[in-house]
Every structure is written in C-alpha cells, then in structure tokens.
Amino acid sequence: MMLRKLSRELIILCILLTSCNKSSTTSSSTDTNNNGGSTSTYNDLFVPPAITGTNFNLTLDKSTKQFNSGAVTATYGYNGNSFWGPTLIMNQGDDVKINVTNNLSDQTTVHWHGFHIPAIMDGGPHQIIEAGATWSPNFKIKNNAGTYWYHPHLHLKTYEQLAKGAGGFIIIKDPIESALSLPRTYGTDDIPLVLTSRRFNNDNSFNISGAYGDYLLANGTLNAQVSLPKQYVRLRILNAEIERGYDLGLSDNRSFNIIGNDGGLLNAPITATRVKMMPGERVEILVNLGNDALGSTLDLKAYNSGQKFGFPGGEPATSGEFGSLLNNKDFTVLHIKIGASTNNAITTLPSKLANNTYWTNADVTNSRTINITGGQAGSAFTFDNNTYGFTNINQTINLNAVEKWTIVNNNVFGHSFHVHDVQFKIIARSSGAVGEHESGWKDTVYVPLGETVTVIAKFDDFADPINPFMYHCHFSNHEDGGMMGQFLVK
Ligand SMILES: [Cu+2]
C-alpha cells in the first residue's frame, strides 16, 4: 500500500519534471503540449481502417500496444488493431449481417450503440458470445446518417473490456446527408475521434480501477497530432470514457459549427465555441481551417477546469478512485497542423441540413419517471432503488407508444443516461434551456446533479415479449455497479 502511494507521488513528480514524460516511441514532432503540464512529443493520430458493405466480420482479440517506453501494454482490439476496431460504414436501408468472433478467453457481447434494431440483435448483456464462438446478427439499417459505435456490453465486464480498447465507430450514410456539400473523405477531411483516458501501472499495464485515466488517448494515441487540410474539416467526436466528461473547444477560441449529434444531422448548423460531451455521446463538428496559414497549428482542447460539482472529471484530486492528473484541468485533446487543401475542398457551410420533425408533448401517449438513486456512503448507484437484475423487467412499454421519460437526479453526482432501441428528443431541462449541441435526435443525455431532464421517444417497429432492451448510466463503472434497468416493448 505504501509502495502504491509512493509510486503515485512519483508519477505526479514526473509530470512536474519534463524529463520523464509519457511519450511513445513513434514520435514525429516536438511541441509544447499542456497535457498534464509537461512538454510532450506528439504521435500521429491513429485513424481506424474503414470497412464498407453489407457483410462485416469483426474479431475481438487480445493485443498489445506500445504506449510508453519500455514494456508494451496489454490491450483488446477488433480485427488485429492494437486498440479499438475498424470503422464500419453502412447505408440506411441496407440489410447488414455482422459476424462477431470472440477470440478472448472470456465472454463478450457487442452492442450497436444508437441503433434501432430488434432486441435480440442489440448485443446487450443477454446476447453473450462465448469464448471462441461467433455471433451473427442481421438487421436493416433504419437510423439516419450519423456517427454511431459498437462496444462490449457484458454485465460486470463492460468497464474492463471497453477500457482495454474494445470498441469501434459506425458511420451511417443516407440520401439526405449525401446530397449536402459536407466534408466526407474519410481520414482526410472527415475524421473519427474517440476520446478516453487511461492510467498506467508501473509495468505499463492499464490500471483498470477508479473512474478516470491520467493520460488522454485520442483514437488510442497518446499526445495525438493530425495534419488537416486548409478547408472545412469534419470531426466525428465520441466520448468513450469510463466516466470523464469533456467541455471541448479550440485553443484560439474560434467558433466551430455543430452539424450533428447522437442520432444524426441537426436541422441547421449551430455556431459554438464550446461543446460538452458525456460518455456515450457523439457530436459532429465542422471547423473552418480555410483562413489558417499552412504549417500553423491549432489545438482541440478540453476546458474542464472550474466545472460545476457533479461534472465527471471536475474533482480536484490528482490520484485515487476519483482522482486523475487530468481532473479539473484544461488539456490538449488533439494537436492539429494545417496542411494543403484538397482538390474537392469544402469551403462553405450549408445553411440547412436535415428536416427532422421532433416529438412534442402533444404526441405523448404515456409518461414515466425514473429516479437516480443510491451512491450514498460508497453504495452503488441505481435507478429507482433497484440494482440491475439479469431477469428483472423494470419497465414494460406498448409497441408504438410515444413515451415521455422524466429522469430525476436529486442524487450525489452527475450521470450520463442512455436508452437502447430509440432516438429521443430532449424537451426540457429543469436548470433552463436544452443545449443547442443536443437539440437533434439523441440516445444519451447528461443528467447533471440536481437536475431533471425530460425526453420523448417513440418505441416502434420492434416488439418482443421476452428479450429486453437496456437503459443505463453510460459511466461503465456505474453500469457494471448496477445502474441499469431493462424494458420490454410488447
Ligand atoms: Cu452514473
């Protein structure tokens, strides 16, 4: 115990000194990065390979990655990647089949986060893939064009498997999005960016305990940099943290344009200088680099200092269960270098995007309230005082119901609330207005401490009297701890 405490202090000392910063062996340039207050060497951002089509093969396996000098880190990755997995690109209306092979020595599942598909295809805790087995779900893509993702959802193991690197992006395309003049050259002006953080043990293994990591990983890359063309670029950002929230902005405080969130495009771009993202949430932004000088640099940063209590990662501690070297700090997420523009550069912003018609109170056929409970004196968080039960049905919903869910957080901390099966509309926050960044279709919503959030969704298409869908906190430590419920649609 003494040794453990001492090593934490040594790590903090290392951060204060520039001589032993965490940098990987694949460096390409040196700049000043305020991540943890150290001078860092940047590493080229890993962009996951993309797979397009209607038949996909995913294989989850153990891997290793060289994050730090010395020993490699034991990780998980799909399809031979050392951390994370390929980006699956699908078209709305397609019938897709995915063969998921589990090469771990443990069970897993794969959940298609944000998808409107039958419960038995959803990849929740019940669709277990045994070690060595292959699971082959098939479903029609009914979602709108947008940024979705896949990740393990095995109860009690979601945190561990996600933390080791199991996850991947899914990009859905549709005719509405395709008709717009938007950046969409994958890896060039259309960049997937998954944010998370990890803590390393002295032997460079991941420390899979506690709520927060100490070092930011962008697409699994420490101190990531990317060269982006001098034009409008699109960042598809996913918060895949265990628990940390992000309040993102650009280092020169320039505005950017939010064009989409969890369920696809907004009706029109929104101009912002900051966007808050909680675990599970996605946002698509356009950044205009057209006026930047070639070779100049810009940082995407998390402005996480001084957040209201209950914002995950705002705690002051630098170590321990709720501590982190990144807590309550502003830190760099991605270092951007401005490169030459491309031939097909997007240089203007569309004034209109989608034509979504959202649910309102007038559409609602049933209402229910979900209270966030537990968490006192170290007890687990729960919904309505019920710890998750594998065979419990917490809510039963009529097929085609338009439901208003009121999520009440008179608890001790903020949470990230995710519902499977549906995309919902956030209609009210008790603290005031619904954020513009969350004004489109959503499947995950931040419920700050002391706040009540109201959402409306229609539960159509997929009735099943046996197989439930999940609703849960998307902090995977809270989810594993029992902050999850099950609903049937029938
Ligand atoms: Cu939670």
Q: Are 192 and 329 within one domain?
A: yes
Euclidean distance between CA atoms 418 and 476, whole angstroms: 11
C-alpha of residue 287 to centroid of ligand 1, in Å: 31
Q: Are 269 and 308 within one domain?
A: yes
Q: Do residues 270 and 257 lie in contact, with contact meaning Cβ atoms separated by under 8 Å?
A: yes
Euclidean distance between CA atoms 391 and 414, whole angstroms: 27
User: How far are the Cα atoms of 229, 335, 337 from residue 293, in angstroms, in the given order?
Assistant: 11, 15, 10
Euclidean distance between CA atoms 165 and 108, whole angstroms: 13
Which has the higher per-residue pLDDT, 4 or 361?
361
CATH number (domain holding residue 392): 2.60.40.420
Residue 201 has a pLDDT of 97
The two three-digit tokens of residue 485, written as one number: 């419920």
348 assigned to some structural domain: no
C-alpha of residue 449 to centroid of ligand 1, in Å: 11
C-alpha of residue 39 to centroid of ligand 1, in Å: 34
Q: Are 118 and 163 within one domain?
A: yes
Domain boundary among 159, 174, 189: 174
| DSSP letters spanning 104-147 | SSS-B--EEET----GGGS--TTS-B-TT-EE--EEE--SPSEE
346 assigned to some structural domain: no
Q: Are 6 and 61 within one domain?
A: no
C-alpha of residue 157 to centroid of ligand 1, in Å: 16
C-alpha of residue 415 to centroid of ligand 1, in Å: 4
Tell me the sheet residues that pair with 113: 149
C-alpha of residue 110 to centroid of ligand 1, in Å: 21
Q: pLDDT for 380-390, tens place per residue?
A: 999 999 999 99
Domain ranges, residue 170 = 50-174
pTM for the full predicted model: 0.93
347 assigned to some structural domain: no
329 assigned to some structural domain: yes
354 assigned to some structural domain: no
Domain boundary among 339, 374, 408: 339
Q: What is the DSSP letter of 442?
A: B
Q: Are 212 and 158 within one domain?
A: no
Q: Do residues 354 and 266 lie in contact, with contact meaning Cβ atoms separated by under 8 Å?
A: yes
353 assigned to some structural domain: no
Residue 5 has a pLDDT of 32
C-alpha of residue 218 to centroid of ligand 1, in Å: 23
Instruction: Using pLDDT thresholds of 50, 70 and 90, give the confidence band for residue 25.
Output: very low
| Residue 231: burial class (beta carbons within 10 Å; 0-12, 13-18, 19+) | buried
C-alpha of residue 188 to centroid of ligand 1, in Å: 35
Lowest-confidence range among 24-28, 54-58, 64-68? 24-28
C-alpha of residue 81 to centroid of ligand 1, in Å: 29
Residue 35 has a pLDDT of 44
C-alpha of residue 439 to centroid of ligand 1, in Å: 22
Instruction: Using pLDDT thresholds of 50, 70 and 90, give the confidence band for residue 17.
Output: very low
Q: Are 151 and 191 within one domain?
A: no
3-state helix, strand, coil in the chain (%, to 5): 10, 40, 50
C-alpha of residue 462 to centroid of ligand 1, in Å: 27
Q: Are 313 and 387 within one domain?
A: no
Q: pLDDT for 442-460, tens place per residue?
A: 999 999 999 999 999 999 9
The two three-digit tokens of residue 211, written as one number: 């709520």
Q: pLDDT for 302-328, tens place per residue?
A: 999 999 999 999 999 999 889 999 999
The average pLDDT across 191-197 equals 98
C-alpha of residue 311 to centroid of ligand 1, in Å: 11
Q: Are 197 and 247 within one domain?
A: yes
pLDDT reading at 4 higher than 50: no
pLDDT reading at 3 higher than 50: no
C-alpha of residue 378 to centroid of ligand 1, in Å: 13
Q: Are 37 and 57 within one domain?
A: no
C-alpha of residue 489 to centroid of ligand 1, in Å: 24
Name the CA dihedral angle for 413, 435, 385, 469, rounded to a multiple of 10 degrees. Answer: -130
C-alpha of residue 322 to centroid of ligand 1, in Å: 13
C-alpha of residue 277 to centroid of ligand 1, in Å: 14
C-alpha of residue 163 to centroid of ligand 1, in Å: 16
Q: pLDDT for 367-426, tens place per residue?
A: 999 999 999 988 999 999 999 999 999 999 999 999 999 999 999 999 999 999 999 999
The average pLDDT across 118-143 equals 98
C-alpha of residue 437 to centroid of ligand 1, in Å: 21
Residue 40 has a pLDDT of 62
pLDDT reading at 274 higher than 70: yes
Residue 377 has a pLDDT of 85
C-alpha of residue 138 to centroid of ligand 1, in Å: 31
C-alpha of residue 211 to centroid of ligand 1, in Å: 11
Residue 19 has a pLDDT of 32
Contacts (Cβ under 8 Å, ≥6 apart) of 19: none
Residue 378 has a pLDDT of 84
C-alpha of residue 472 to centroid of ligand 1, in Å: 8
Domain boundary among 174, 205, 239: 174
pLDDT reading at 466 higher than 50: yes
C-alpha of residue 116 to centroid of ligand 1, in Å: 23
Q: Are 209 and 305 within one domain?
A: yes
C-alpha of residue 423 to centroid of ligand 1, in Å: 20
C-alpha of residue 244 to centroid of ligand 1, in Å: 11
Residue 415 has a pLDDT of 98
Q: Are 267 and 316 within one domain?
A: yes
pLDDT reading at 142 higher than 90: yes
Question: What's the whole-number average pLDDT of the chain?
Answer: 93
349 assigned to some structural domain: no
Euclidean distance between CA atoms 244 and 464, whole angstroms: 34
Residue 192 has a pLDDT of 98
Percent of the chain with pLDDT over 70: 92
Q: Are 223 and 326 within one domain?
A: yes
pLDDT reading at 36 higher than 70: no
C-alpha of residue 113 to centroid of ligand 1, in Å: 17
Q: pLDDT for 75-118, tens place per residue?
A: 999 999 999 999 999 999 999 999 999 999 999 999 999 999 99
384 assigned to some structural domain: yes
Q: How many domains does the chain have?
A: 3
C-alpha of residue 367 to centroid of ligand 1, in Å: 22
pLDDT reading at 7 higher than 70: no
C-alpha of residue 484 to centroid of ligand 1, in Å: 9
Percent of the chain with pLDDT over 90: 91
Euclidean distance between CA atoms 314 and 304, whole angstroms: 7
Q: Which single residue is written with the structure tokens 């489109």?
A: 440
C-alpha of residue 164 to centroid of ligand 1, in Å: 20
C-alpha of residue 245 to centroid of ligand 1, in Å: 12
Buried b (16+ CB within 10 A) or exposed e, 130-166: eeeeebebebebebbbbbbbbbbbbbebbbbbbbbbb
